Amino acid sequence: MVEKLKLGLPAGSLQKTTVEMFKKAGFNIYINERSYFPDIDDDEIECTLIRAQEIPRYTQAGVLDAGISGKDWITETGADVIEVADLAYSKQGLRPIRLVLAVPRDSKITKVEDLQGKKIATELVEVTKQFLQTKNVQAEVEFSWGATEVKPPTLVDAIAELTETGRSLKANNLRIVETILTSTPRFIVNKESYKSDWKRNKIEQITLLLQAALLAEEKVGLKMNIHKDNLPEVLALLPALRKPTISSLDEDGWVAVETVIDDKKVRELVFKLMKAGAEGIIEYSLNKIIP
């Protein structure tokens, strides 16, 4: 019988990005809309699709060996688990999310201390309470079942809400007072499961490949041909993880240069490389970068 690692995958906002990231890492996950148990093309992994809010406590309890959940929910639940990797992605891409205190745009509240004696609505009650305690502010913090942005100022004075871009808050005529917590998805593990050599090795394999896929997400490969006379000028333009690879070509005096750079730098760099004498420039995507 094949030993299996019980892995919790986040349903909801992180679901699509998580599946895409696993695919880049080499694991294909197939989700049936009627099932909470996705198929994965690895016989040693058994997946369960569950809300990110619940993954920390199920991992702590040993129902799951490991799972992916946000730092916000790990903190909120107080789950006693091992965080083996910080996977810096979110539903919008690679940016972290923030738990922020927000108030109506015309509110007189301008700082945390102004919330003394006020009412705050949030899904993350414990995190918000802990933050207020650090500021010596006493306020009523109530759980919100959703649509939190529409509650101020009629139902509450402020909200503590998760945001990536802040656009939803602005659309609801709210402004941010302060950031409570910055959160990214974390790969978490049950403490007893991590004592198993087999499970620990499997977990390390998965996290290595996920982190390699994330590292490649904002990088591209770049190849070009350069005459040796122009090589110093071209190399001076190229940032890289390490020194670029230089290979001789059949034609005398010419070399091929290959490197890895930030995707966003290519649009400005290509024109400069051409001006410096680079020819036959090829840009290609990367699946994984293993440092």
pLDDT < 50 positions in the chain: none
- Asked if residue 20 lies in contact with residue 217, where contact means CB atoms within 8 angstroms, the answer is no
Class of domain 5-91+185-216: alpha beta
pLDDT tens column, 174-194: 999 999 999 999 999 999 999
pLDDT at 250: 85
Helix or strand holding residue 86 (H, E): strand 82-86
Model-level pTM greater than 0.75?
yes
Closest CA to 101 of 183, 178, 181: 178
Residues 6+ apart with CB under 8 A from 177: 100, 101, 102, 103, 109, 110, 111, 112, 114, 115, 158
pLDDT tens column, 203-238: 999 999 999 999 898 899 999 999 999 999 999 998
Q: Token pair 């006693």 is at which residue?
A: 80
Query: What whole-number distance in Å separates Cα of residue 255 and Cα of residue 226?
Result: 5
Give the total residue count for the chain.
291
The burial class, CB within 10 Å (0-12 / 13-18 / 19+), for 33 is exposed
97-183 matches 219-285 in fold: no
Please report, to the nearest 10 degrees, the dihedral formed by the alpha carbons of residues 105, 109, 115, 119 taken in order: -40
- Asked if residue 63 lies in contact with residue 192, where contact means CB atoms within 8 angstroms, the answer is no
Query: What whole-number distance in Å separates Cα of residue 65 and Cα of residue 189?
Result: 6
CA-angle at 124, arms to 118 and 130, nearest 5°: 65
Closest CA to 213 of 3, 26, 19: 26
pLDDT at 42: 96
pLDDT at 242: 65
Architecture of domain 219-285: 2-Layer Sandwich (3.30)
Tell me the two tokens of residue 4: 């299996």
Q: Where are the domains of the chain?
A: 5-91+185-216, 97-183, 219-285
pLDDT at 12: 85
pLDDT at 105: 94
Cis peptide before 38 (omega within 30 of 0): no
pLDDT at 239: 77
For 140, list phi and psi in degrees, rounded to 5.
-85, 120
CATH of 97-183, one of 3.40.190.10, 3.40.50.11540, 3.90.400.10, 3.40.30.10: 3.40.190.10
How do strand 158-163 and strand 97-104 relate by DSSP bridges? antiparallel
Amino acid in the structure at residue 122: T
Please, how many CA atoms are within 13 Å of residue 161, restricted to the half-sphere of its CB? 27
pLDDT at 90: 63
pLDDT at 141: 97
Query: Terminus-to-terminus CA distance in the chain, angstroms?
Result: 35
pLDDT at 116: 96
DSSP string, 198-237: HHHHHHHHHHHHHHHHHHHHTEEEEEEEEEGGGHHHHHHH
